[in-house]
Structure 1
């Protein structure tokens, strides 16, 4: 990569130049140029479809695209125009193509649906449509070339969480595409951090706490909290919450305590039950966001306990509930698996394995190891004559039965793609797009199902990969990760120490390494979780690549300054993976009053009709890869009335440990 700085720009402040905003990195963000706005969609004469949906040559190999990636404005524009009523033409020029199955969505759930459909009907001809420039949906791969070395990062779906909880159907599908989870035990270097004496730290931004500090955590809060810029009472309260919490609900039984904690947010627990200093509300506000999407003002204290938040060890609540099989069950389990089941590109390799199985011409090899350095041939995704085809940069806009849904033999799917509006026909359809899109695609649903579909509000998130030329600052500070309470970013972590398939994680301090930053945009305290997600989505869509870059450089320049880090000198590349419609919403108390007793909206929302079935992680209210697979399998079996290894379609991830547990 060319490290020469850009010529000084009059638009850049001295502060920006000190952060390195004038350094030469790939800053394409599709906010301009090829960006397709809703207004432009409506005025096709001003921006013809052939121009609007063309893919630039630089995006011919999507994993290597820099700048802003994921759900770009260009990828979102068509459905935003449908939503806004500026695109009303729901007919298209027939391509003359007919398929046994059309899948709307080429994420993991859509790919799983296609895989299961082919298992049950090996001669089936299948087309998958997706508006993104890459396969896999949120399972997204980033590639970088730095100093002659290939670095691979994950830009979305992170890991195969808790294989012990996988259904037989998930295990069978992963096995069929060459993925054996137990092999990660040899590929993940669990001793990498310990061998180097690295641990977790916390960065306190000056703007929030009065002065900046980076503090390395220790087992006992008393050993590090006094180094923070928290006020004296907040320090005392944090030490108590962590090291020696009292029984803050003394006199109640364990069941009564759990019931009380289920009805209170963690914010209310801190302020009204534990009665700690209000500064700790700021400190903990985002601590639940990575697992639940929401901050402590919408997540119950019960779920915060399951999340590992402090304050509960003295309350004798019993064992943490990782999963129970029904709301009335009292089965307690613990999470038996380490968090190590991770490809270098996260679950993008799961998606690529499914693609390779469906279209063998796209990639050589059969093993999970060959996925890592294997280069997907995008030119083979949509080839006439292949029994399975994947058509990217293609947004479905209308789906209808050709006749009465009860008796029709075909379904028409209209999509916006290269050259304009097109239509294909299919014997059957799987909608593996997110739930809130479905009512815009069809007028064949009743009001109750439409309302149930709209209950699912996607969690917006941003995963940013920053490539460092070396990780010397982390070595000097003895850090492997930092959280940053109150900052724009939730924190930054060194990438997972995984070496497999000829790919080797950094060993020397001078080796380049990927740093993973994450943000879940927030709304106003006091709003519901869904309202906050919508507010956060608007914020996410309003920011440019430069906005994210500036905040990334600000975080690293501040948090790592004590280790000699220089954001001008030490950053080689940045890719921002933006997911305005990110992960599935998982039911949580106290806001979802129907949880866990039911009836649950997903039970009504995911019902198929006629020759159409519904998949995707929304259908499980569970934002994890194995749920996406289960839902894809279920949808395919509904259409073909087939059977196979059992699926798990009851919602509830291991992280939401206490959502099922009553008093």
Structure 2
């Protein structure tokens, strides 16, 4: 760890060529064809013109959020002098994530392909949290997801969401056709036990695959803690025998997993570190997650509990996660942006022509690097004029304005009160109620995955680690793209960090994690990646200085949409929930995002887009 990091120098989150880049493919024009993994040599697109290949600090990177923070802090607002572009649109969408792109799609479907639509996004790439990472090495293109990873949900997809996927050419039930699970045959999940918490560093394979007694026998932990964990996972005890299944469910909704383990389950506190680093639904931690939400764990096998949460929809995973959904939407909205694309296979290796996203005269335009800073009605809120709303945005340090008949705010709820100061106070308060869940998806290109094979694992849970989940990427082949099939091939290791730390109330954990993430430079994240992979894989021959080829840190301080829980949130009627009050239409302005559905899933983002466009049509008397 004391060896210098000479591979690359990172400036503003964009990798600059340097002495250590010899292993990576030469840079070329963005018009060069994209090679599938395993195909012949291909040149990587230029980092200056092709956002997916940019490494270093990505996600909400430096330069993408400062204008929004200035709005929040009162440094930018209604009095800003903005250049009037003279542009007028039928619809302006603030936010180019899946909800914003879906809003443009639904609007155009309702009123026709010639509708004038402008989508503004503060990042250099579209998709919001659905972010594509590309790596190019020795003639191969290797893809990874930098945020939203899969089509899945704990509740069934709506007709609207299913229909949109079908229109885009996505068939979730075909996922099994593309999976290549034999790639990791013989490998299992595992746990990395760290010396600070468990006495020594060691990987224990077989989590969920071996009998629990055999698994914990492999763990480098004290005999009494081993016995305690083995009891919890194998005893099949009813810890609430005096309650019926419905009453058990209600009781588990009102107690955290930590309090359940230390209370009814009578677990020794010394065993708590095994659970402390786990992230549960909406990345709650052991002290903020209601026990009911994890009643599927083996610990509860001896208890009959009513109405347990299950996954209901078909799952589908693209190599770049749900970025392919965003790319398919852009393909439909902006003709020529992704030539030759028509379905879930052709999208995977397609390259976006970013020069076509914002062409003058095009019906739908996508303007990147543009942060909305003020949205206001022109005249009164009830004015029924064509130029009903003025939108001011910052681009390249300069303010510009456009007008629109309607605006959909598909950005984060907590910035909306600052963008639209004329909103009613009650609605502003509701929009600021939730606290987004900070998340970090770090993708590491490694020279090979031989150490994982030697250890017998494909993924690791890392209680108390900097990254708490680490694993090899999904093995799959789709549309001419194939992930690594042999241990001697380069591969992606995905490392997931949730900076929330047990000990604070849930929303305070989110805020503390967000502040920590924003204050952490890339150099710190890189060092933590090197240190953690070395500790986990070093015994199997991994050398961080030699085997790490590239790192992309996708940080999302404002990450997952906040979901309510039965511990910290009041039990109020649905109509009084903050997300319902906050998403009310305001004149010609509507709100669409996952926050407005209080659930961090792609189908929710789509459903909220359809709702918002319905409100837009009503505001203009077009229904």
Counterparts of 1:83 and 1:264 in 2: how far apart (Å)? 36
8 Å Cα contact 1:28-1:68 kept in structure 2: no
Partner residue in 2 for 1:529: 506
| Alignment of structure 1 residues 175-574 onto 2, 5 Å | 175-193=166-184, 196-217=185-206, 218-289=209-280, 291-305=281-295, 308-318=296-306, 320-322=308-310, 335-336=311-312, 339=315, 341-364=316-339, 365-409=341-385, 410-418=388-396, 420-523=398-501, 525=503, 527-574=504-551
Q: Secondary structure at the match of 2:347?
A: helix
Q: Secondary structure at the match of 2:64?
A: helix
Partner residue in 1 for 2:40: none
1:32 Cα deviation (Å)? Answer: 13
Counterparts of 2:243 and 2:235 in 1: how far apart (Å)? 19
Bigger shift: 425-434 or 500-509? 500-509
Partner residue in 2 for 1:132: 123
8 Å Cα contact 2:286-2:502 kept in structure 1: no
1:546 Cα deviation (Å)? Answer: 1.3
Bigger shift: 61-70 or 274-283? 274-283
Counterparts of 2:244 and 2:154 in 1: how far apart (Å)? 34
1:261 Cα deviation (Å)? Answer: 1.1
Counterparts of 2:221 and 2:618 in 1: how far apart (Å)? 60
1:58 Cα deviation (Å)? Answer: 3.5
Match of 2:7 among 5, 24, 31: 24
Counterparts of 1:224 and 1:294 in 2: how far apart (Å)? 25
Counterparts of 1:498 and 1:221 in 2: how far apart (Å)? 30
1:294 Cα deviation (Å)? Answer: 1.9
1:577 Cα deviation (Å)? Answer: 0.4
TM-score scaled by structure 2? Answer: 0.90
8 Å Cα contact 1:344-1:372 kept in structure 2: yes
1:279 Cα deviation (Å)? Answer: 2.6
8 Å Cα contact 1:82-1:440 kept in structure 2: yes
Counterparts of 1:158 and 1:303 in 2: how far apart (Å)? 21
1:597 Cα deviation (Å)? Answer: 6.3
Per-residue Cα deviation, 1:453-480 (whole angstroms, up to 9, x for no partner): 1112111111000011111111111111
Bigger shift: 165-174 or 125-134? 165-174
Q: Secondary structure at the match of 2:2?
A: helix
Partner residue in 2 for 1:45: none
Q: Secondary structure at the match of 1:344?
A: coil
Per-residue Cα deviation, 1:532-563 (whole angstroms, up to 9, x for no partner): 10010000011111111111111211111232
Structure 2: stretches of 5+ with no match in the other structure:
17-45
Q: Secondary structure at the match of 2:63?
A: helix
1:70 Cα deviation (Å)? Answer: 1.1
Q: Secondary structure at the match of 2:259?
A: helix
Counterparts of 2:565 and 2:328 in 1: how far apart (Å)? 33
Report whether the alignment pairs 1:118 with 2:108: yes
Q: Secondary structure at the match of 1:426?
A: strand
8 Å Cα contact 1:28-1:66 kept in structure 2: no
Counterparts of 2:228 and 2:140 in 1: how far apart (Å)? 47
Alignment length (residue pairs): 584
Partner residue in 2 for 1:576: 553
Note the aligned Cα RMSD (angstroms). Answer: 2.1
Match of 2:94 among 83, 104, 110: 104
Q: Secondary structure at the match of 2:430?
A: helix
8 Å Cα contact 1:587-1:595 kept in structure 2: no
Counterparts of 1:587 and 1:243 in 2: how far apart (Å)? 31
1:304 Cα deviation (Å)? Answer: 2.1
Partner residue in 2 for 1:146: 137
Per-residue Cα deviation, 1:181-213 (whole angstroms, up to 9, x for no partner): 2232211224433xx201011111122222111
8 Å Cα contact 1:26-1:66 kept in structure 2: no
1:321 Cα deviation (Å)? Answer: 3.5
8 Å Cα contact 1:25-1:574 kept in structure 2: no
Partner residue in 1 for 2:160: 169
Partner residue in 2 for 1:38: none
Counterparts of 2:122 and 2:515 in 1: how far apart (Å)? 20
Per-residue Cα deviation, 1:395-449 (whole angstroms, up to 9, x for no partner): 0000000011112421000000135100000000000001001000012211111
Counterparts of 2:477 and 2:616 in 1: how far apart (Å)? 40
8 Å Cα contact 2:203-2:455 kept in structure 1: no
8 Å Cα contact 1:488-1:519 kept in structure 2: yes
Counterparts of 2:463 and 2:577 in 1: how far apart (Å)? 34
Bigger shift: 408-417 or 276-285? 276-285
8 Å Cα contact 2:256-2:567 kept in structure 1: yes
